[in-house]
């Protein structure tokens, strides 16, 4: 769940590798002045919606097949920040939407996210998730693959209840992007990839879902086409920032905080932004060490501490964090034309939360 912590980080800059002129920006000071809200206040805004979400999630993952119900409940009880449905709620509230569709679609996006995690853990042969044994360690890969498939289908079954073809089209495109992202990542495992390939992967695997959550809320609220696109852009940039920070934390946080082994991405043959940055700047000997881990999918003869020394010497962790901050700032600027409100202030706070989080 979203925590009640505060965040005071100042974010500056821009995003997608392109320069921004002073004509198309709003000053950071103006944006910061609007964001006078903290995590507890955001949670209070969404308390009832998040409580309803848990009930809907629990109800929607019940099946006549006991294994599916058990796996669904295990996954739901594992928690999480619920940031994706929270974004959907905030987006719909911008337009004063008060129907039940937001909670229903909030459960849909959380079920889709959960199904993706189940499949990810099987593909990655993960043993832990959020500090607990991964579901496949209890029920086995075969049952979990099918449970993940069932969750995807259940998400669409719930979504159909709204009888909104725009929403269904959006969700279909989303799941296609996510599956394509997973397949592309599998093809690139153990390989050195360009930064543009990395950004494409994290868009498909993470940022696309953030963007869709904002778009769904806008559709429910009856937004104009321009408003919908602005919110979708906000979600995209926020999701990019979220994943870059997640990848940095995978290298820097402790196992207790992560709920999984440190440097899991590198050990699984996945290159993330900080490592790609270092590979472009390190010595041939240092590059060979990183490539050995990628190739062997293990820290054989190379320690995590040695990799951290390379990243620190090349300024790679700082570079990745700075890029995340630029995406976060871009997200804030995407919604600058919306009138000031408590909901807008919550959306302005979210990028700060994403960049400053420690897990």
Cα–Cα dist 211/203, whole Å: 9
Q: How many CA atoms lie within 13 A of 63 on its CB side?
A: 20
Contact 64, 115 (CB under 8 A): no
CB atoms within 10 A of CB 51: 11
For residue 80, what pLDDT is reported?
A: 79
Query: How high is the pLDDT of residue 149?
Result: 96
Query: Within its chain, how far is the Cα of 48 from the centroid?
Result: 23
Whether 66 contacts 147, CB under 8 Å: no
Kind and range of the H or E run holding 133: strand 132-133
Going by C-alpha positions, the residue among 255, 273, 277 that lies closest to residue 264 is 255
| Alpha helices (H) along the chain | 28-34, 39-60, 66-77, 83-93, 101-124, 135-160, 165-188, 195-202, 208-221, 225-252, 255-258, 264-267, 273-279, 284-296, 304-313, 316-334, 342-356
Number of C-beta neighbours around residue 23 at 10 A: 5
Predicted TM-score (pTM) of the model is 0.88
- What is the secondary structure of 242-266 as a DSSP string? HHHHHHHHHHHS-HHHHTS-TTHHH
Q: Spell out the per-residue pLDDT of the chain, length 359, in tens.
A: 444 433 333 223 333 333 333 334 444 444 544 447 888 899 999 999 999 999 999 999 999 999 999 999 999 988 778 999 999 999 999 999 999 999 999 999 999 999 999 999 999 888 888 789 999 999 999 999 999 999 999 999 999 999 999 999 999 999 999 999 999 999 999 999 999 999 999 999 999 999 999 999 999 999 999 999 999 999 999 999 999 999 999 999 887 777 778 899 999 999 999 999 999 999 999 999 999 999 999 998 899 999 999 999 999 999 999 999 999 999 999 999 999 999 999 999 999 999 998 77
Residue 312: which of 230, 237, 227, 252 has the closest Cα?
A: 252
| Angle subtended at Cα 248 by Cα 357 and Cα 144, rounded to the nearest 5 degrees | 90
pLDDT at 19: 34
- Give the CATH H-level superfamily of domain 23-351: Farnesyl Diphosphate Synthase (1.10.600.10)
Query: Is the alpha carbon torsion for 202, 205, 207, 211 positive or negative?
Result: positive
DSSP state of 204: I
Q: What is residue 129's predicted lDDT score, i.e. its pLDDT?
A: 86
Task: Provide the pLDDT for residue 207.
Answer: 98
Question: CA of 92: how far to CAs of 31, 60, 134, 202, 288, in Å?
Answer: 21, 22, 33, 25, 50
Q: What's the confidence (pLDDT) of residue 12?
A: 31
Domain ranges of the chain: 23-351
């Amino acid at each position: 769940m979203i925590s009640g912590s505060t965040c005071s980080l100042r974010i500056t800059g821009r995003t997608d590798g392109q320069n921004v002129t002073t004509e198309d920006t709003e000053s950071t000071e103006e944006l910061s002045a609007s964001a006078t809200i903290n995590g507890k206040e955001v949670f209070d805004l969404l308390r009832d919606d998040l409580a309803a979400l848990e009930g809907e999630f629990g109800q929607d993952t019940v099946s006549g097949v006991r294994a599916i119900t058990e796996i669904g409940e295990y996954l739901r009880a594992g928690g999480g920040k619920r940031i994706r449905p929270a974004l959907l709620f905030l987006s719909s509230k911008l337009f004063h939407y008060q129907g039940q569709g937001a909670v229903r679609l909030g459960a849909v996006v959380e079920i889709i996210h959960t199904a993706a995690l189940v499949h990810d853990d099987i593909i990655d042969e993960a043993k832990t998730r959020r500090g607990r044994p991964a579901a496949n360690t209890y029920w086995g890969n075969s049952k979990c693959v099918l449970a993940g498939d069932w969750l995807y289908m259940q998400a669409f079954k719930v979504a159909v209840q709204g009888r909104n073809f725009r929403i269904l089209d959006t969700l279909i495109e989303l799941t296609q992007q996510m599956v394509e992202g997973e397949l592309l990542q599998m093809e690139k495992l153990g390989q050195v990839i360009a930064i543009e390939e990395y950004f494409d992967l994290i868009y498909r695997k993470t940022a696309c879902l953030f963007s869709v959550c904002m778009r769904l809320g806008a559709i429910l609220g009856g937004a104009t086409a321009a408003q919908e696109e602005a919110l979708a852009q906000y979600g995209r940039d926020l999701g990019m920032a979220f994943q870059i920070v997640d990848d940095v934390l995978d290298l820097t946080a402790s196992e207790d905080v992560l709920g999984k082994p440190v440097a899991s991405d590198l050990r699984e043959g996945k290159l993330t932004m900080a490592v790609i940055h270092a590979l472009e700047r390190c010595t041939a000997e240092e590059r060979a060490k990183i490539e050995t881990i990628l190739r062997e999918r293990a820290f054989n003869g190379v320690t995590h501490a040695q990799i951290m020394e390379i990243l620190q010497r090349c300024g790679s962790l700082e570079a990745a964090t700075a890029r995340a901050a630029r995406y976060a700032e871009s997200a804030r600027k995407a919604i600058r034309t919306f009138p000031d409100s408590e909901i807008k202030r919550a959306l302005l706070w979210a990028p700060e939360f994403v960049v400053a989080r420690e897990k």
